[in-house]
Amino acid sequence: GSGFVWDTDGHIVTNYHVIQNANTLTVKFFNGREYRADIVAFDPDADLAVVKLRDVEHELVPLAVGNSSELRPGELMIALGNPFGEEFTMTTGIVSAVTRTLNSGFSLYAIPAVVQTDAAINPGNSGGPLLDMDAAVIGVNTQIRSESGQNSGVGFAVPVDLVKRVVPSLIEDGQHTYALMGISGEAVNIEKRETAGIPGEIVGAIVMSVTSGGPAETAGIRADTGPRANNGVLLRGTENFDGDIIVSINSTRITSMDALIAYLALNTAPGEEIVVGIFRDGVEKAIEMTLGARPTNT
């Protein structure tokens, strides 16, 4: 796996899956120096981990950190890492997309706003930095989509805006806690519009289920009224698509469920008061909500 220097105290950022089964850790620098390292903390939800060097004997130079929210498709990118054990390899490409959500593989929750790139990312690149043309980190390489297990031009990186929230929490508190609304939802599409008579100009996340006793239910958010199984799960194919449609949070327009997930992860914290804009019965309404906290995944 790969990683990069976060600060002068010896903290190194990498992927959770890089250190997941490690008994000992060695960090090797480009100048050939090697150090033993210890795991500080990790966050499976975002597939991130922090390790710390033991007995640092030379000055560390952290990489500059950029802003993934400012990225646009078409921008040039550089991926650094250790593909197939080929140390200190550089590949280039462009930003292919910036609005994906991605299952980390270790959690029920998705990584929001991942950076998709066609820069060659292969096994061993995991945890390495994805850089912009100013050499600032804009993501942490985490996965590829491939039938063969090798690069097919579809790679993904954890967005640095999420890294900037998670890593300080891991260093200071040993964990990162995400805000929780307590819903499941889907993007409004043509099927839902036709079934429920949703106006064409309304976009957002339609609420399919709410967690009993959760923040959304407490605030009065309504879910789909379709029939449910004994375990409370909405039966597929029988939905009414009449749940509330979340169209904004704190006046920021929400265009999909992916956008809602990203907003919560990148802009809110447990216990925070937010104003949720919903579309219900033909009109938009504002509902106040106090966010809860995701169960910790450690």
Catalytic residues, by residue number, are 17, 47, 126
Q: Identify the CA nearest to 139 among candidates 161, 171, 170, 168.
A: 161
For residue 84, which amino acid is it? Answer: F
Tell me the residue type at 228: R
Closest CA to 174 of 296, 40, 38: 40
CA distance 84 to 158: 21
Q: Are 138 and 68 in contact (CB under 8 A)?
A: yes
The C-alpha atoms of residue 96 and residue 73 are separated, in whole angstroms, by: 5
Distance from C-alpha of 184 to C-alpha of 168, rounded to nearest angstrom? 28
First to last CA, the chain: 21
φ/ψ of residue 172, rounded to 5? -85, -40
